[in-house]
Amino acid sequence: MNAIIEARGFGVSYGGSAVLRGVDLAIRRNKITAIIGPAGSGKTTFLRCINRLSDLAPGLGVTGGLSLDGRDVYATETDVADLRRRAGMVFAVPIPLPRSVYENVVFGPKLLGVRSRAKLDEIVERTLRAAVLWEEVKDRLNVSGLKLSGGQQQRLCLARTLALEPQVLLLDEPCSGLDPISTAKIEEAMQDLKSSLTVVLVTNNVKQAARASDRTAFFLMGELVEEGPTADIFTSPRDSRTNDYIVGRFG
C-alpha cells in the first residue's frame, strides 16, 4: 500500500464545536507532505490527531476514520504510547527537557528499557548526525539541552524524536522561530530522512512548502481543499481558494 496515513471522512470537535470536517487524505510513504493553510484552518489539529496528543485537551470528539500504517488510530485497543513512538512529533517551539543533550536524546529509548551504554551511544551519534547537529555538540553531550542556541535546540528535539525510530515524522511548524541557516539545516535533514520514513510538515511558510515538500495539502476553515504534488498545487491549483492563499490574498 502506498499510503501510510489515511483519513476517511475524518472530523474533530472540541466541546461540540467542529474544528475539522470530512477530511479525506492519504499521505504517501517516503514522501514529504506539507500541510499549509491560514491560522485556524485545523492543520495543527490534524497533525496532533495522528499521534493522539489531541487527547490531552478536554472535550475531544472524533468522527470518521484515521489510520496509521493500516491500524486504526482511535481504536480502543490502540497503545497510545506505542502510537506516539510510531508517529514522532517535533513542536513549533523547541522544548528540550531540563537535562543534558545526551539524556534528551536517549529519553525515548530509555523508556523502552534500553540500558546498554554502547547501544545508547550509538543511538545518540546516529540521530544527532541525522539531525545535522552532531558536529556542533559531539564534545559537549553533557551540557544541558537548555544551553544550546534556538536552532540547535530544535535539531536536538528532532534527534530526540528520531531516536524513537518512528515510521512517520510529524513536524509542527518546526522552523517558525528559527533563523535561515538553522531552517536550511532542518530542511536538509528532512531530505535525507525521507528514504527511511515519511514526513508530514505543517508550515505557515508557503515558500518552505514549495521548496521542501513533495506533496502539499491545503486546509481552510476545518476542511481539506485539495492535495497533490507540490509542483501542481503551486503552478496550477484546481481550487481558486488555494491560489488565493498561495499568492497571499488571505491568512
Partner 1 sequence: MRIPPKVVHYSVLTFLWAVTLGTVGTLCVIIGWVLVKGLPAITPGFLFSAPEGAGREGGIFPVIVGTLWVILGAVLIATPLGVGTSIFLVEYTRENWVTRVIRFGADCLAGIPSIIFGLFGYVFFVVALGFRWSILSGALTLALMSLPTIIRTSEVALRAVPPQYREVSYALGATRWQMVLRVVIPGSLPGIVTGIVLAMGRSMSETAAVIFTAGTVLPDSVPTSPGDSVRTLAVHFYLLAVEGLSEKNAFGTAAILVLSILVINVGAYTLMHRFLARYR
Q: Footprint of partner 1 on this chain (CB under 8 A)?
A: 51, 53, 56, 58, 81-82, 84-85, 88-89, 91, 93, 95, 97-98, 107-108, 111-112, 157, 160-161, 164
Least gap, CB of 95 to partner 1 (angstroms): 5
Tell me if residue 35 falls in helix, strand or coil.
strand
Least gap, CB of 105 to partner 1 (angstroms): 10
Considering beta carbons, is residue 81 or 143 the nearer one to partner 1? Answer: 81
Least gap, CB of 244 to partner 1 (angstroms): 34
Alpha helices in the chain (DSSP H): 43-50, 80-86, 101-105, 107-111, 117-130, 134-137, 150-162, 180-193, 206-212, 230-235, 240-246
Least gap, CB of 104 to partner 1 (angstroms): 9
Least gap, CB of 240 to partner 1 (angstroms): 37
- Distance between CA atoms of residues 182 and 178, nearest Å: 6
Least gap, CB of 6 to partner 1 (angstroms): 22
Cross-strand bridge partners of residue 216: 34, 228
C-alpha dihedral sign at 34, 46, 54, 8 = negative
Considering beta carbons, is residue 157 or 206 the nearer one to partner 1? Answer: 157
Indicate the Cα dihedral angle 220, 226, 228, 232, nearest 10°. Answer: -90
Considering beta carbons, is residue 18 or 97 the nearer one to partner 1? Answer: 97
Considering beta carbons, is residue 68 or 225 the nearer one to partner 1? Answer: 68
Considering beta carbons, is residue 49 or 164 the nearer one to partner 1? Answer: 164
Considering beta carbons, is residue 153 or 216 the nearer one to partner 1? Answer: 153
Instruction: List the one residue out of 157, 202, 195 whose CA is nearest residue 50.
Output: 202
CB 168, CB 197: distance < 8 Å? yes
CB 80, CB 68: distance < 8 Å? no
